[in-house]
Structure formats: C-alpha cells, structure tokens
Amino acid sequence: MKKIKTIPQFDRPREKMEQKGAKALSNLELLAVLLGSGIKGKDVFEVARDILRLAQDDFDNISLEKLKDIEGVGLAKACQIMAAIELSKRFLIKEGIKIKNVDDVLRLTEELKDKKQEYFLSLALDGASNLIQKRTVFIGTLNHSIVHPREVFADAISDRAAGIVFVHNHPSGNAEPSKEDIAITKRLVEVGKIIGIEVIDHIIIGKNGYFSFQAEGMLRISDI
C-alpha cells in the first residue's frame, strides 16, 4: 500500500483538493483529508480504508462507538467524522422535500423501525409544508421529564417554523400509543398553540405499522 509520503506532492489528498476540488477525490481520499494523519505503524489510508469498510457495511448505524473501535480512530477523529456525516445529512435531507402526508414522513424516518431504543424526532416545516430540518430530539424511554416542550420547540422557534411533526418508535413493535404517549402529545399540542407552531401530527412507528394521531382525529386538545 502507498504511504502518503511516497505519493507525489501534487497527488496527495489535500493538494489534490486544492488543485482540482473536492469532487476529484475518491471516498478514501476524502476520509484521509478528514483524518489528517494515521498512527504509528498504520498509515492514514489504512485507517481510512477501515472506516470506509464500516460505512459501506452499515452506514445508517455508524456511531462514535463503532468508529472508536477502529485502530487509529480516537475520540477526536471519530467526532470529526460524525460531525461531517451529520452536517451532510442535514443539508441533503432538507433540500426540496415537502411533507404532504404520513407516507412522506415514513419515508424520512424509516430507519426507526429497526432501532432497539426509542428515538423521538421532530420535523420542522415552513408554511408551505417544506422540510426545514429533521432532528433527533432525544433517545430513550418517553416520559414527561425527558420530553420537555422547551427543548422540543426550541429549535423550531429558531427555524421560524410554521408547523412541526413529531415521530417516535416503539422498539416492542406495537405502534399503539401508551397513556404516556397520549399525555405527551396533548402537552405538545397545547404548547404549540401557545407559541404559534402547529403540531401537524405525532406518528408512532412500530415494526410492521404506524399510528398517526392526526389520522385518528386525536390532535384537538379536547379529543386527546
């Protein structure tokens, strides 16, 4: 394998990016730029190749922990890579996506079906139902102390969102709402009305189906 020091100066990843632009770099070279260097006994390209293999095998579930398990990737480098992935996801996800119905939401959140923990997501929308931002609000069991409206709506307020859709999964597979789900939804709808951001839907995703509060007519405070 070529060591980076043996590559001609003009063809090294950073120099190549400077001369030809980021699009001219291979996936391996882009990772090498992010990493910056390897470790003793393991060149940056060897480290990058291990990361690339992980990304190709299971990109949707890539995590800090999995990256840190790779020899040559410490916390700092793992954080750099995760930050680059998250930033690119945010820009790609929000580009030209309109949320018109439950199916649109399910397509954006299909990864939740296989999660082994509960994930609570928010989709902030503008007045024309265009996606402004998709966010993971928190990970863990739903309860009142965790799902605090201040935290849930803070980013949507900054986005100047007109509406918001909430989505969470039930790892048990059963999409029917619990008493806690119903209570939390009522609380979020109430706060949304006060601050002027409409709660368009709260969708629960199970292994083989979903539950939509909007479709069931359960978003009017009096009906929840």
What are the residues whose beta carbons fall under 8 Å from the beta carbon of 18, sequence distance 6 or more? none
Same domain, 90 and 115: no
Same domain, 149 and 77: no
Same domain, 34 and 113: no
Same domain, 71 and 112: no
Q: How far is CA 158 from the centre of its chain?
A: 18
Residue 2: per-residue pLDDT: 46
Residue 148: per-residue pLDDT: 74
Q: How far is CA 168 from the centre of its chain?
A: 13
Same domain, 21 and 70: yes
170 or 18: which leads in pLDDT: 170
pLDDT tens-digit readout, 109-143: 988 988 888 899 999 999 989 999 898 888 876 55
Residue 224: per-residue pLDDT: 47
Per the structure, the count of domains in the chain is: 2
Same domain, 66 and 109: no
Cβ–Cβ < 8 Å for 173, 125:
no
Residue 8: per-residue pLDDT: 40
Residue type, 14: R
SS (H, E, C) the chain: CCCHHHCCHHHCHHHHHHHHCHHHCCHHHHHHHHHCCCECCECHHHHHHHHHHHHHHHHHHCCHHHHHCCCCCCHHHHHHHHHHHHHHHHHHHHCCCECCCHHHHHHHCHHHHHCCCCEEEEEEECCCCEEEEEEEEEECCCCCCCCCHHHHHHHHHHCCCCEEEEEEECCCCCCCCCHHHHHHHHHHHHHHHHHCCEEEEEEEECCCCEEECCCCCCCCHHHC
The CATH number assigned to the domain holding 139 equals: 3.40.140.10
Residue 95: per-residue pLDDT: 56
Same domain, 19 and 61: yes
Q: Which of these three, 30, 63, 94, is where a domain ends?
A: 94
Q: What is the rounded average pLDDT of the residues 11-24? A: 79
pLDDT at residue 152 tops 50: yes
Tell me the whole-structure pTM to 2 decimals. 0.59
Same domain, 161 and 184: yes
Q: Which of these three, 38, 72, 94, is where a domain ends?
A: 94
pLDDT at residue 145 tops 90: no
Same domain, 81 and 110: no
Same domain, 59 and 118: no
- Average pLDDT of the residues of the chain: 84
- Look up the domain containing 14 and give its range: 4-94
pLDDT tens-digit readout, 38-87: 888 888 889 999 998 988 887 878 899 999 999 999 999 999 999 988 88
Q: Which of these three, 69, 94, 119, is where a domain ends?
A: 94
Q: What is the rounded average pLDDT of the residues 201-210? A: 93
Residue 219: per-residue pLDDT: 85
pLDDT tens-digit readout, 165-196: 999 999 988 999 999 899 999 999 999 999 99
15-19, 64-68, 207-211, 213-217: which has the minimum mean pLDDT?
15-19
Same domain, 76 and 128: no
Same domain, 32 and 112: no
